[in-house]
Amino acid sequence: MAIMPGATVRLVPNCTKGGQESVQGVILHIMQGTLDGSDSWFRNPISQASAHFGVGKTGTIYQWVDTQDRAWAQAAGNRTWLSVEHEGYAGTALTAAQLAATAKIIAWAQGLYKFPLQSTDSVTGKGIGWHGMGGAAWGGHTGCPGDPITAQRPAIIAAAKDILTPPTNSSYTVKKGDTLSSVAQDHGVTLAALLAANPSYKSHPDDIKPGDKLAIPPTAAVWVVVTKGDTLSGIGATHHLTLAQIVGLNPQIKDPDTINPGDRVRVA
């Protein structure tokens, strides 16, 4: 079996056992309804429909079909693509929780099937696609999942890459007046985490001197997804950050006056 750890397993009968011939990547869908409504529909043999995964607005993940089996999600695309349905309606963007959950699914699937973490708009491509790109052969659902979600693919992929790339320690050179507590506070980590990364100081935490090198453990970065009308300064204010601070956290943003819906902005 190929079941994603952490998903709520709710296997449905609507699938082709052992029918997943290959995995070119993951196709994004919109439910046009609720997670529970889709769960019920996929259990009804009349529907002749299912998906491998479903993601609720709060980030709940349902796995409806083992990824070794073929879900009935995108007609001619079923044999070679995994499918993820999202609670909501076409024309709306994923919530931050949905985006994070989708990234978890994609990171897990990529680790298993080794498709490239990239957007694709071609049925012969590989990566992260969308239902409507398959046209009539995929059921003619050209508005699924809608432009806002399709535009969020770079943010989903970036989040998946963060999951797949283990964080590493950085280095800090002690300056006059520093203490382990002040260094920990300045770098947004706990004193316990700093000591764990620098075990030689555990027996004498106050014995640091200028020039010493400290390993700074990684922090759990916090990101928000840009929605229509957002500005970098506005996002910063919401999270008690000055514009300079939020720019410093986001070196990938070249122009602070230009952010687009679907972009990810680090706020911690």
Q: Percent of the chain having pLDDT more than 90? A: 64
- In the chain, ranges of CATH 3.40.80.10 domains: 8-164
The alpha helices in the chain, defined as continuous H runs, are 35-41, 96-113, 147-151, 153-164, 180-186, 191-197, 232-238, 243-249
CATH fold, domain 8-164, is Lysozyme-like (3.40.80)
Residue 221: pLDDT above 70?
Answer: no
- In the chain, ranges of CATH 3.10.350.10 domains: 170-216, 223-266
pLDDT tens-place string over residues 83-116: 999 999 999 999 988 998 999 999 999 999 999 9
CATH of 170-216, one of 3.10.350.10, 3.40.462.10, 2.40.110.10, 3.40.50.300: 3.10.350.10
Q: Which residue has the higher pLDDT, 95 or 218?
A: 95
CATH architecture of the domain formed by 223-266: Roll (3.10)
Cα(159)–Cα(96) distance, integer angstroms: 11
| Mean pLDDT of the region 57-76 | 96
Q: Tell me if residue 162 falls in helix, strand or coil.
A: helix
Q: How confident is the model at residue 181 (pLDDT cuts 50, 70, 90)?
A: confident
| Mean pLDDT of the region 249-257 | 81
* pLDDT at site 220: 61
The alpha helices in 114-211, defined as continuous H runs, are 147-151, 153-164, 180-186, 191-197
pLDDT tens-place string over residues 162-174: 888 876 778 899 9
